[in-house]
Amino acid sequence: MLKKRGWETAPSFNLELTIECPYDDGRARDNVLASSGYPRVEWGKKSGTCVVAGRGPRLADSLDKLVQLQFQCDIYALNDAAGYLSDHGVESYMCACDATDIPFKTGPLVKGALFASRVHPNQFALFDRDKIQMWDIDSDAPDGIVGGGSIPTRAIILLLKMGYSKIEFFGCEGCFYDMAHVGGSVKEAYNSMLIIRCGERIFTTVPYLLEQCKFMVKMFELIPDHLVNRSGGLLAAMLETHGEYDCIAIAEDLKDYLEGKGVEGFEKYGTMEDVWRQQRT
Higher-pLDDT residue of 255, 109 = 109
Q: Is 24 helix (H, G, I), strand (E, B) or coil?
A: coil
pLDDT at 126: 95
In the predicted model, is pLDDT for residue 7 greater than 90?
no
Buried b (16+ CB within 10 A) or exposed e, 133-160: bbbbbeebeeebbebbbbbbbbbbbbbb
Cβ atoms within 10 Å, residue 225: 7
- 179 confidence band (pLDDT: 50, 70, 90): very low
Which is nearest to 267 in space by CA: 13, 32, 2?
Answer: 13
- 3 confidence band (pLDDT: 50, 70, 90): very low
In the predicted model, is pLDDT for residue 11 greater than 80?
no
Cβ atoms within 10 Å, residue 229: 17
Task: Say how far apart CA 193 and CA 113 lie, in whole Å.
Answer: 31
Higher-pLDDT residue of 33, 51 = 51
The pLDDT of 244-257, averaged and rounded, is 77
pLDDT at 170: 98
- 124 confidence band (pLDDT: 50, 70, 90): very high
- 14 confidence band (pLDDT: 50, 70, 90): very low
Enter the pTM of the model: 0.82
pLDDT at 27: 55
Task: Say how far apart CA 180 and CA 155 lie, in whole Å.
Answer: 21
pLDDT at 223: 96
For the stretch 34-48, pLDDT in tens is 566 789 999 999 999
CA end-to-end distance (rounded Å), the chain = 31
Q: What sections of 163-260 are H helices per DSSP?
A: 207-222, 233-240, 252-260
Q: What percent of the chain has pLDDT over 90?
A: 53
The pLDDT of 69-76, averaged and rounded, is 97
In the predicted model, is pLDDT for residue 270 greater than 60?
no
pLDDT at 99: 82
